[in-house]
């Protein structure tokens, strides 16, 4: 059975104050990076590891649950990112 992704209270606060969310492919799943005018961070679990969602839809549901005003976007592949 897979572990459930549990966000910390800090991660939920970060998500609620965010204005943007970016999904990054990682370890067979997706990490969520949130940002606002003050900076950006990945959503973290209770041991300060980035939360990895098993699917893009699971990550989107978590974002929508805590901040429905954000529409997440996919990060470009590493080869296509600005240097």
CB-based contact 68:81 (threshold 8 Å): no
**pLDDT tens, residue by residue, 8-24:** 899 999 999 999 999 99
**pLDDT tens, residue by residue, 21-67:** 999 998 789 999 999 999 999 999 888 888 999 999 999 999 999 99
- Predicted pLDDT of residue 47: 87
- Predicted pLDDT of residue 26: 85
- Predicted pLDDT of residue 3: 55
- Predicted pLDDT of residue 27: 77
Taking the C-alpha atoms of residue 21 and residue 63, their distance in angstroms, rounded to an integer, is 8
CA 50 to chain centre: 8
């Amino acid at each position: 059975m897979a572990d459930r992704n549990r966000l910390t209270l800090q991660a939920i606060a970060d998500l609620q104050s965010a204005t943007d969310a970016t999904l990054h492919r990682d370890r067979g799943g997706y990490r969520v990076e949130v940002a606002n005018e003050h900076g950006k961070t990945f959503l973290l679990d209770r041991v300060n590891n980035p939360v990895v969602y098993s699917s893009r839809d699971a990550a989107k549901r978590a974002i929508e649950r805590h901040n429905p005003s954000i529409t997440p976007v996919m990060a470009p592949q590493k080869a296509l990112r600005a240097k």
